[in-house]
Structures are given as structure tokens and as C-alpha cells.
């Protein structure tokens, strides 16, 4: 599996996943020109896009993708909010299959209408990817994950050093994943099959890339990468 981050921040989120014979996108929170550039002018090779929720830093170019012939999968609530009337919008309410990929959406906790995370399994490669962003809590336990892409937005200890600590914490505590909570989740979900962890959506004000990589690596014992902004 090859995971490419075109952007991962409150300014925009977009990821390209190469999984066996499939090449697809998760999130479309960048401008159309930036996405085309990020795919090296090979956007036509993208089979489909998974969208987690309606916020602009995740959905900015979703209408453009539909117009370019790319199927875009999202929850009913997300589709209703974005008010997209296009045959390329695929409303998702349960598990689906695309080629040899099995994709299971699951609810996450965020200040959005009906936000999703995704569990993606390749029958060809036997790889299993978990994608979860913009959530402050994940109550689930997943078996035999090989790759994890997970939000690690902030640390309470770092925020408390800020002059705007109370304001910042009030905003993110019910919308984004905190470092210690991420560590707890990963400890419960790591297995001998886990190969890599990718940290997404780090806060400018409340994160420390080197610290987060070190803390998470200590918790999971596999290579940890921070998705580029």
C-alpha cells in the first residue's frame, strides 16, 4: 500500500491511496488545480473518492470531482448538507464493495451532520486500512489492521501553555482527537499485523510533530509518519 498526503490540516485535507490494483482518494478539501497537480495530472486514474463529512477543508472540490466523472461516496447527511445533485454522488448507509475492496463506513464523533470513518480491506493484498479523522472519540476495536490513518490533532498540555488555552480547548475538545486519547485507541487496536501509522490533521497551535511521532511510536512499536500539511 502507498499512502500519499496532498494536505492534512485545517486549511485542507486530501489523500491518495494505492491499494493493490486500486487508486482512490479520501477527502477533497483542496482546490481542483491543487488536486490535479498533486496527482501529477493523472486525476483520471483516481477510481473514486471517499468523503468523511461536509466541512470545507474536507469537501471543497467534491462537486468538481463529480463533474470530472469520479464517483464520490458519502453519508446521506453529508450529501444532503452539500446539496449535490449529481449521478456521481454515491450515498452510503452500510458496507459496500468496489472491485476487490470491501469498505465499511462507521460513525465518528464530530460537529458535523453525519460524519464517517472508513475501514477498507483488500481481498487481493489482504491489507486493512483504518481511516478516521475529525473525531474526538472512537469507541470501536478493529481486528488485524495493517495500516492506520488517524487524526492526532492536539495535546492538552501544549494547549495549556497558550494564551488562548481556554478558548482553544473549548473548541476542539468536542471535535478533534487528543494525543492521549489517540494513544489509548492505538494500544487497543494494534496487532502483530500492524505495519504503519499515519498521523493526520495536526493543529498549528496545539501539536508538536516530533513529540507526537515519538509518543505514538512508543505506543505501537511500528513506523509512524506525519501527513504533510
What's the CATH number where 29 sits?
3.60.15.10
**Predicted local confidence at residue 169, as pLDDT:** 67
Rounded Cα distance, 12 and 2, in Å: 20
The number of folded domains in the chain is 1
**Predicted local confidence at residue 163, as pLDDT:** 65
**Predicted local confidence at residue 168, as pLDDT:** 63
**Predicted local confidence at residue 175, as pLDDT:** 86
DSSP 8-state symbol, 139:
-
3-class SS of residue 31: coil
Residue 182 is part of which domain span? 2-226
- 196 to 23, 118, 128, 186, 192: CA distances (angstroms): 19, 17, 11, 11, 11
Total length of the chain = 229
Residue 9: strand pairing partners: 12
Rounded Cα distance, 35 and 16, in Å: 10
**Predicted local confidence at residue 13, as pLDDT:** 97
**Predicted local confidence at residue 159, as pLDDT:** 76
Measured between its terminal Cα atoms, the distance across the chain in Å is: 21
Rounded Cα distance, 227 and 225, in Å: 6
Q: Could you give the strand order of the β-sheet that contains 2-9, starting from the edge strand earlier in sequence? A: 2-9, 12-19, 22-26, 48-50, 71-75, 89-92
**Predicted local confidence at residue 165, as pLDDT:** 60
Rounded Cα distance, 50 and 90, in Å: 9
What is the number of H-type helices and E-type strands within the chain?
Answer: 8, 13
Mean pLDDT by 10 residues, the chain (229 residues): 95 96 97 94 94 97 96 97 94 96 96 96 97 94 97 87 66 83 96 97 90 96 92
* pTM score: 0.94
Amino acid at each position: 500500500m502507498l499512502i500519499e498526503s496532498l494536505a492534512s490540516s485545517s486549511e485542507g485535507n486530501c489523500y491518495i491511496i494505492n491499494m493493490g490494483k486500486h487508486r482512490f482518494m479520501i477527502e477533497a478539501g483542496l482546490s481542483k488545480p491543487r488536486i490535479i497537480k498533486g496527482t501529477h495530472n493523472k486525476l483520471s486514474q483516481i477510481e473514486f473518492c471517499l468523503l468523511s463529512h461536509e466541512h470545507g477543508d474536507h469537501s471543497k472540490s467534491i462537486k468538481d470531482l463529480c463533474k470530472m466523472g469520479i464517483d464520490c461516496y458519502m453519508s446521506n447527511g453529508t450529501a444532503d448538507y452539500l446539496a449535490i445533485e449529481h449521478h456521481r454522488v454515491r450515498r452510503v448507509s452500510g458496507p459496500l464493495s468496489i472491485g476487490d475492496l470491501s469498505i465499511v463506513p462507521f460513525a465518528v464523533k464530530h460537529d458535523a451532520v453525519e460524519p464517517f470513518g472508513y475501514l477498507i480491506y483488500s481481498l487481493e493484498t489482504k491489507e486493512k486500512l483504518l481511516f478516521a479523522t475529525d473525531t474526538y472519540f472512537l469507541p470501536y476495536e478493529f481486528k488485524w489492521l495493517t495500516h492506520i490513518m488517524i487524526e492526532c490533532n492536539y495535546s492538552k498540555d501544549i494547549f495549556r501553555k497558550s494564551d488562548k488555552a481556554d478558548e482553544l480547548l473549548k473548541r476542539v475538545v468536542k471535535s478533534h482527537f487528543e494525543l492521549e486519547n489517540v494513544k489509548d485507541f492505538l494500544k487497543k487496536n494494534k496487532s502483530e499485523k500492524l505495519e504503519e501509522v499515519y498521523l493526520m490533521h495536526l493543529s498549528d497551535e496545539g501539536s508538536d510533530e516530533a513529540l507526537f511521532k515519538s509518543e505514538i511510536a512508543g505506543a505501537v512499536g511500528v513506523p509512524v509518519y506525519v501527513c504533510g500539511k
